[in-house]
Amino acid sequence: MTDQVRSGPGGAQIGAFLDFTGTILQGYSPLRPMQVKTNIEDDQDRDVSLDLMKTLRASKAPQFVEDMVATVYPSWRGKSEDDIARVAKRLFERHVAGRLFPEAWQLIQAHRDKGHTVVIVTSGPRFIADAAAAALGAQFVLATELEKRDGVLTGLVDGAVLWRRAKARAVRDFAEREGIDPAASYGYSHGSEDIEVLSAVGHAVAINPDRALARIAEQQDWPVLRFAPRGTVSPLQVGRTLIGYGGFFGAVGAGLAKGAIKRDHRLGVDTAIGNSADVALRIGGVHVNLTGVENVWSHRPAVFIFNHQSQADVLVLSKVLRGGFTGITKKEMATSKLFGGVLRIADAVFVDRADSASARDALRPVADTLRGGLSVVIAPEGTRSLTPGVGPFKKGAFHIAQQAEVPIVPIIIRNAGELMWKHGRVLRSGTVDVIVEKPIDVSGWGLEEFSDRIAEVREMYVRYLENWPH
């Protein structure tokens, strides 16, 4: 479908209307909201979070809408709209983002590349949808609006609940208001309750459709897309992950023992790095598809940079680079029960991201590390991304490479976030694609062009991830 979008006409007059729960986001069962209770300390925030999770149920029954209007929205009476939005943003980042379909992200990026107007349409309130729109780059959200006075919610709905005909009417009204051509626009949904929405656009697409929608899609000759399940993990995946951790630390111990016997600390670290990654990924059922292996070794030492989505990135990078490197990571990782000890033994540099002065001081010796022959691995985004998208690049890695007179070597990782998302703890089996690009000489970058050259490197990541494998 992305190929069809990219080969079609562009412009803001073409809309892409995407249902939220079940289409962009895998829905929750009624029992699912209970899983957030232990991760939220404030009682009021916990209650709001549980109510917000209820709004994400992938229910087809009218009772779902009635329950929202009769019980959930009245419970927010007297609460600030900004407070609800704050809780929703945190909830999205900590729990909900892991249930975003990567394929939906690809679709949205394809529409954005064509300059289309991307709209998330939900029957629920806008709070979590707004957080998702910000992360995915959707320009608009159409949602059931809640009545408020001076920013405080009254517990009532403001206007119609966007359900069935009202949802389709909201799409048509938006298209007329924004100058959108419905006949040229796209609509995506998973549920038969959105048949009228899909019928309102020229290009209707069913995503993981229920039986009724699948039947209509076949009659109307609408394309049907099947997205892989997200969120739920199986006992097998949990078991493999636990065994993988055991294998990882066993291989680390064996590698370090070899170094101790040979009285060569670096040999022990490099053996531990490569072998532990091999073992953990093999047990977890993860295959790494590597392109550009010659660039891994062509220029060492180097500053290797990568797009950061997952804790699994550490294993993937270790498998690709094998050894001869250390990492720069946030100071919190120093106390990580899983990786803290390993990172300290591997001479990692721990940086306080909240203290820019401290971060600069910590990075000063890194140039000496590079001059001594040891490569460095840095995530220029500074933190893991919630989506497959690429965040802004910071300048630190490029300054270090320039000072040490070594090249930048880009590593583009695809799918790691799908196998273990930012806040995930269980590793799913699958394939991670990795491209190691040719080294980039930054020695001649002038101060006045530094930002633009970094933006060019980042754009390379964007192009790869949005148009993989081309």
How do beta strands 286-291 and 430-436 pair?
parallel
Task: Give the start-end residues of each E strand in 395-456.
Answer: 408-414, 430-436
Backbone angles phi, psi at 202, to 5 degrees: -80, -25
Q: Are 112 and 133 in contact (CB under 8 A)?
A: no
- pLDDT of residue 378 exceeding 60, the answer is yes
- The pair of structure tokens assigned to 467 is 């148009």
Q: What value, to the nearest 5°, has the Cα angle with vertex 134 and ends 131 and 135?
A: 90
How do beta strands 203-207 and 140-142 pair?
unpaired
CA distances from 169 to 110, 129, 133 (A): 26, 19, 21
Q: How far apart are CA 126 and CA 146, in angstroms?
A: 9
**pLDDT digit string, tens, across residues 88-127:** 999 998 888 888 898 999 899 999 999 999 999 999 999 9
Q: What pLDDT shows up at residue 144? A: 94
Q: What pLDDT shows up at residue 31? A: 42
- pLDDT of residue 452 exceeding 70, the answer is yes
- pLDDT of residue 330 exceeding 80, the answer is no
- The pair of structure tokens assigned to 98 is 């892991």
Count of Cβ atoms closer than 10 Å to residue 74 Cβ: 13
Nearest CA to 62 out of 215, 191, 188 is that of 191
**pTM, entire model:** 0.81
For residue 145, give the DSSP letter: -
Q: How far apart are CA 441 and CA 450, in angstroms?
A: 13
- pLDDT of residue 331 exceeding 60, the answer is yes
The string of DSSP codes covering 162-196 is: --THHHHHHHHHHHHHHT--GGG-EEEESSGGGHH
Q: What pLDDT shows up at residue 338? A: 65
- pLDDT of residue 436 exceeding 90, the answer is yes
Q: How far apart are CA 106 and CA 238, in angstroms?
A: 28
Q: How far apart are CA 34 and CA 129, in angstroms?
A: 20
Cβ contacts of 295 within 8 Å, gap of 6 or more: 409, 436, 437, 438, 439
Q: How far apart are CA 334 and CA 329, in angstroms?
A: 9
**pLDDT digit string, tens, across residues 299-329:** 999 999 999 988 889 899 999 998 888 888 7
Q: What pLDDT shows up at residue 386? A: 79
Share of the chain above pLDDT 70, in %: 91
For residue 316, give the DSSP letter: H
pLDDT confidence bin for 468, thresholds 50/70/90: confident
Q: How far apart are CA 302 and CA 170, in angstroms?
A: 54
Name the residue with higher pLDDT: 456 or 44: 456
- pLDDT of residue 180 exceeding 50, the answer is yes
3-state secondary structure of 146: strand
3-state secondary structure of 307: coil
Burial 430-455 (b: 16+ CB within 10 A, else e): eebbbbbbebbebeebeeeeeeebbe
**pLDDT digit string, tens, across residues 225-265:** 999 877 666 777 778 778 877 887 788 788 888 888 888 87
**pLDDT digit string, tens, across residues 270-303:** 888 888 889 999 998 999 999 999 999 999 999 9
Cβ contacts of 90 within 8 Å, gap of 6 or more: none
**pLDDT digit string, tens, across residues 182-191:** 999 999 999 9
Nearest CA to 462 out of 408, 384, 410, 400 is that of 410
Count of Cβ atoms closer than 10 Å to residue 221 Cβ: 7
Average pLDDT over all residues of the chain: 87
Q: How far apart are CA 122 and CA 47, in angstroms?
A: 22
Q: How far apart are CA 157 and CA 115, in angstroms?
A: 33
